Amino acid sequence: MGRKKRKIAEIKPFCYYCNREFGDEKVLKQHQKVRHLKCLHCSRKLSTVSGLIVHMLQVHKETLSRIPNAIPGRDIPDIVINGMKGVPSELIEERIKKQNVEIDIQKNLKSYNPHGNKMMALMNEVATNFVKEHSKFKFSNYLEF
């Protein structure tokens, strides 16, 4: 038997505007079109932010000041995002680090199992809740890699 290959850090496609994760990029693009790139006046769905800006100007004579249903700070229409294209590299690196921390926690929990499956389930739940509660913080500020 040979050595196990180390997995290359990959992240699931996620929405820049709301942080939701998806199985593939096609579903992500569909989500962005329906949830974030939909005209609030006529419900027309557009593929890009620039398309929504042009639509708002030409049809409704208004300027788009913010992306609908986006997290504050990510609702600025100046950044062109299409699926995962255009997502700032710092944000992707931060998600990779967060994912690696979650994997390390899960590995540590699996290796420590003195009381059987009930204790393991409880520890998994605690670790998952910890990661969820602290996901709003940048792990890069607290951990050194």
- Domain coordinates in residue numbering, the chain: 9-83, 89-141
pLDDT tens-digit profile of 113-140?
A: 555 566 667 777 887 777 777 665 554 4
| DSSP, res 85 | B
Report, in angstroms and rounded to the nearest whole number, the Rg of the chain calculated over CA atoms: 20
- Concatenating the DSSP letter of every residue in 55-81 gives HHHHHH-----S-TT--TTS--TTS--
pLDDT tens-digit profile of 28-39?
A: 999 999 999 999
3-state secondary structure of 98: helix
| pTM (2 d.p.) | 0.66
